Amino acid sequence: MALCNLNPTQGIFPLQGLSKSQEFICFSLLQSPRCGSYSSLKTKRFGFCIRSKLSEKEAGKFDRGYVATVNSKEIKKVGKKEHHLWKKNDSAGSGQKALNLVRMLSGLPNEKEAVYGALNKWVAWEVEFPIIAAAKALQILRKRSQWHRVIQLAKWMLSKGQGATMGTYDILLLAFDMDERADEAESLWNMILHTHTRSIPRRLFARMIALYAHHDLYDKVIEVFADMEELKVSPDEDSARRVARAFRELNQEENRKLILRRYLSEYKYIYFNGERVRVKRYFSEDS
């Protein structure tokens, strides 16, 4: 008979050098149900069990279970490697860069050479173009109503091939409107219309309609609305009112009524206290 340690999680298995049919004694921290007969000894921590003549079949089960346990420990799961096709720009410190850029532009004269030279120096030592800081600077200048600086910064960004987005175009068109540059806004709009024909959002159409209506260019308002109809872009409520007013100024009363009937019905739906409520529209004399 031989003495061996029993791992309570693995079961009972013989020591090396002993045949599977030899008798052996095992002890366990827990009384294993695999042991046939038990003899309790008065000890503090250990219980001993004696089993004789382990059969070949049970020994084979223990061997296979032990091998399977060892193999499962040797196998290591390898995680999936993520491959990113883009590089995320770090926006840390972009707010302070934007404020520094706004302060720098505010202290420059209104000359194109001076402004562009200062902007080129500002971006000279950057590894990547600070597009996030420039976009934040545009928003700050817009809130401060510094439309001339907005135009200078946006034009410089577009000349560098950066920031050619619908948001930049929207801010630039608004700056042209506020700075009384309707002709430059028209040239920019024609470029946008020919370049991004099928991807122009309704917001830009509304911006151009508001710009032409602000400068009393009613025929241009009708042209922009015709482009919307061709591209199947429905106008919002304010744009529809401006188009109806343009038809009225051009003495086209039938088209005005058609616009009001198609896009401005008698009732509309609004949300009040979290519920969708049907209310009657208010038509002023200007619409």
Residue type, 20: K
Confidence tier at 54 by pLDDT (50, 70, 90): very low
Give how many domains the chain has, as a whole number: 3
192 vs 10, higher pLDDT: 192
Question: Is 281 part of a structural domain of the chain?
Answer: yes
Predicted confidence (pLDDT) per residue in 95-150, tens digit: 899 999 999 999 999 899 999 999 999 999 888 899 999 999 999 999 999 999 99
Tell me if residue 57 falls in helix, strand or coil: helix
197 & 260 share domain? yes
- As beta bridge partners, residue 24 has 51
24 vs 268, higher pLDDT: 268
160 & 184 share domain? no
189 & 283 share domain? yes
Element spanning 268, H or E: strand 267-272
Predicted confidence (pLDDT) per residue in 214-272, tens digit: 999 999 999 999 999 999 999 998 999 999 999 999 999 999 999 988 888 767 777 88
Mean pLDDT, rounded, for 202-207: 95
Q: Which of 111, 161, 162, 174 is nearest to 134 (CA)?
A: 162
Q: Are 137 and 102 in contact (CB under 8 A)?
A: yes
Residue 167 corresponds to which tokens in the numbers above?
A: 């948001």
The answer on pLDDT for 88 being more than 60 is: no
202 & 286 share domain? yes
What distances in angstroms separate CA 267 from CA 111, 171, 183, 259, 282, one per listed residue? Answer: 52, 33, 38, 15, 9
Question: Residue 51: which domain range?
Answer: 3-72
DSSP designation for 50? E
Confidence tier at 282 by pLDDT (50, 70, 90): low
209 & 262 share domain? yes
